[in-house]
Amino acid sequence: MRSKFETITVERRDHHILLITLNRPDAANALNTQMGLDLVELFEGFSVDLGGLRVAMLTGAGTKAFCAGGDLKQRNGMTDEAWQAQHLVFERMLRAILACPIPVIAAVNGAAYGGGCEIAAAADFIYASDNARFALTEVTLGIMPGAGGTQNLPRAVGERRAKELILSGLPFSAAEAEAWGLVNRVLPPDQLMEATFAIAGRIAGNGPISVRQAKQAIHRGLQMSLADGLAFEIEAYNRLVPTEDRREGVLAFNERRRPDFRGK
Integer angstrom CA distances of residue 228 from 93, 109, 130: 28, 38, 39
DSSP 24: -
Q: Is 159 a catalytic residue?
A: no
DSSP 182: S
Apex 105 CA angle, 62 and 172, nearest 5: 65
Q: Is 138 a catalytic residue?
A: yes
The distance in angstroms from the start CA to the end CA of the chain is 21
| Active-site residue, from 6, 44, 91, 138 | 138
No. of helices (H) and no. of strands (E), the chain: 11, 10
Q: Rounded distance, CA 84 to CA 95, Å?
A: 16
| Active-site residue, from 118, 159, 178, 235 | 118
Residues 6 or more apart whose CB falls under 8 angstroms from that of 151 comprise none
Q: Rounded distance, CA 111 to CA 99, Å?
A: 25
Catalytic residue positions? 118, 138
